Amino acid sequence: MTGERGSSIARSLASSWLALGVGVAVSFFLSPFVVNKLGAAWYGVWAVAGQLVGYMYLLDFGVRESVIRYTSKYAARGRRDPLNRVLTAAVTLYAGITLLTLMGVALCVWRLPYWLDLDPVYWTDTRWAVGLGGLTIAQTFLFNVFNGIVFGLRRWDIGNAIGIGWNFLRAGLIVYFLMRGHGIVALATIQLGVSVLSGLTSVAISTVLLRRRGMAFGFARLTGRQFRALSRRLLGYGAYVIINNVGEKVIHASGAVIAGLFQPIQAVAHYAIAGSLMGYLRSLLSATSQVFNPLASHLRELRQGEELKAAFLLGVKLVVLLTMPVAMAFVVLGERFIGLWMGAEFAQPSGEVLRIMAAAAILSSPQYVFSSVLYGISRHNVIAALRIGEASVNLVLSIALVRTIGLAGVAIGGAIPSVLIVAVVMPLVACRIVGVGLAEYYAQAYLRPALAIAPFAAAAWWVQQDLPAPNLAVFFLHMAVLTAIYAPCAFLIVLNARERQFVLERIGLRAALRPGDVR
């Protein structure tokens, strides 16, 4: 990677990690507060209702990803008119999608209490929360074009800065209203209000960014034939996106729903706690890998194949390096952490689920970079097919196993296909497309990171057995020491010479390396 492009990636990643860190910190302190104020039963209702309504995000049909792709493509060549035609078609499509979403919201408001077999005492508030949550999703579609512009121009720093501000506002409002005795209806109202404000901000920011590039956005006059042609392009790219999104939704959101259908509603809280911790890790990996989507599109448009391979391998190493300490800590210390964080009654059931999910994540984390890069070069049909296959097996196994071994069965049902698809099948197909050898891939994705994490894992096991943390302050002190053990191992074992030099330069040090040093 060139120095300028490397700096751009570093800036994007730093802003994404900062935004995610703020989000995780806010959620960390907010989660036990919300559970305590709502109670396990209401929290379970909130979690399941949110997962079910969240399926309406699938109505996006991949248009947002298409906007990111074409914004990056046309911005690379400064082609304003083709971009405006694409954006106009995208806005028109989203208007129809929003109306379709509102119809789905009405159906969910009517039928959800029956689908979940809820006690009538929950019906009124659940319906209000579902309706407001659906409206939040519906209005999000209207602003997705402008979010896509910001990300397509690779201005993750601006988008993330906006997200940080609204995250703090949302958290403050939640604390204020729950302290005054409000429940899930207040939570849903807050989500809707903050989402609208965030969307309006994205409109303003994207307009300014395009104008600065001499590509000011303006609605183009489209004939019926032009609109149909552009729609086919957007939905043609997006068709595989929607297939992939369906798979992703089944994989990550069906667990709580299956638990709610086959276990007492209170048990959903146990699953949701483990799921929320894994959600933080997924958000970290998504925030890291998403910068490689428009970058891959840009490199493919300029026919820079070697740079694309380098970007792909860099992305794989980044997500694995980030996954290893978090997932290993969840496996070894997760039950202890949940007990200190949420309460002793959640430690064992949530800890067991978390352990299974985290063990699978150690092997399946490269999927985020595979998806991002293949999206950028319009080969995401591969990802779509594999994710649907994984989702199908996940669903069948989870339903079968939850009946016999409970919540752990749901986690196992998701872990088995995830590991097989990502660690075995996906590299065989995707590495050939990108042009990376399998031996090099497995060495970068698994062998070197495994060597780097070994001292961390051994030290964590010793801490769990002989020095268990009595409170969260001590627990985080342990994690700081463990991270200090892991960081130099990862730096020396996983990164190559050029990458080590780049890291040292970013933190104000200079590596004594010559340009001819080997990788």
SS (H, E, C) 385-416: HHHHHHHHHHHHHHHHHHHHHCHHHHHHHHHH
Q: Judge whether residue 463 has pLDDT over 90.
A: yes
- The pLDDT score that the predictor gives to residue 372 is 82
57 found inside a domain = yes
141 found inside a domain = yes
446 found inside a domain = no
Mean pLDDT of the chain: 81
462 found inside a domain = no
Q: What confidence tier does 332 reach under pLDDT thresholds 50, 70, 90? A: very high
Query: Would you give the DSSP letter of residue 421?
Result: I
Q: Judge whether residue 141 has pLDDT over 80.
A: yes
Average confidence (pLDDT) over 357-362: 93
- The pLDDT score that the predictor gives to residue 516 is 42
Residue 507 token pair: 């933190």
Q: Judge whether residue 386 has pLDDT over 50.
A: yes
Q: Judge whether residue 483 has pLDDT over 90.
A: yes
Q: Judge whether residue 509 has pLDDT over 60.
A: no
Interatomic CA distance for residues 18 and 509, integer angstroms: 22
DSSP assignment of 224-279, as one string? HHHHHHHHHHHHHHHHHHHHHHHHHHHHHHHHHHHHHHHS-HHHHHHHHHHHHHHH
CA atoms within 13 A on the CB side of 230: 23
- The pLDDT score that the predictor gives to residue 511 is 45
Domain count, the chain: 1
Handedness of CA 358, 362, 363, 367 (dihedral sign): positive
* Of the listed ranges 103-107, 455-459, 463-467, the one predicted with least confidence: 103-107
Average confidence (pLDDT) over 74-94: 80
Higher pLDDT: 54 or 204? It is: 204
**Contacts of residue 219, Cβ cutoff 8 Å, sequence gap at least 6:** 84, 88, 91
| pLDDT > 90 fraction of the chain, expressed in percent and rounded | 20
Average confidence (pLDDT) over 337-353: 90
Query: Would you give the DSSP letter of residue 202?
Result: H
Q: What confidence tier does 506 reach under pLDDT thresholds 50, 70, 90? A: low
348 found inside a domain = no
Average confidence (pLDDT) over 70-81: 76
128 found inside a domain = yes
Q: What confidence tier does 11 reach under pLDDT thresholds 50, 70, 90? A: low
Interatomic CA distance for residues 333 and 319, integer angstroms: 21
- The pLDDT score that the predictor gives to residue 303 is 67
Contact in structure between 316 and 437 (CB atoms under 8 Å): no
- Residue 125's domain comprises 49-222
Q: Judge whether residue 480 has pLDDT over 70.
A: yes
- The pLDDT score that the predictor gives to residue 359 is 94
414 found inside a domain = no
Q: What confidence tier does 129 reach under pLDDT thresholds 50, 70, 90? A: confident
* Of the listed ranges 7-11, 304-308, 411-415, 435-439, the one predicted with least confidence: 7-11
Q: Judge whether residue 479 has pLDDT over 70.
A: yes
486 found inside a domain = no
* Of the listed ranges 34-38, 66-70, 184-188, 231-235, the one predicted with least confidence: 231-235
Terminal CA-CA length for the chain: 13
Burial of 64 per CB tally in 10 Å (0-12, 13-18, 19+): buried
Helix (H, G, I), strand (E, B) or coil at 326: helix
Contact in structure between 483 and 450 (CB atoms under 8 Å): no
Q: String of b and e for 453-471 (b: at least 16 CB within 10 Å)?
A: beebbebbeebbeeeebee
Question: What pLDDT, in 10s, does the model give residues 396-415?
Answer: 999 999 888 888 899 999 99
Average confidence (pLDDT) over 55-74: 75
The model scores a pTM over 0.85:
no
Q: Judge whether residue 127 has pLDDT over 80.
A: yes
* Of the listed ranges 62-76, 134-148, 405-419, the one predicted with least confidence: 62-76
Average confidence (pLDDT) over 421-427: 89
Higher pLDDT: 413 or 4? It is: 413
Read off φ and ψ for residue 90, nearest 5 degrees.
-65, -45
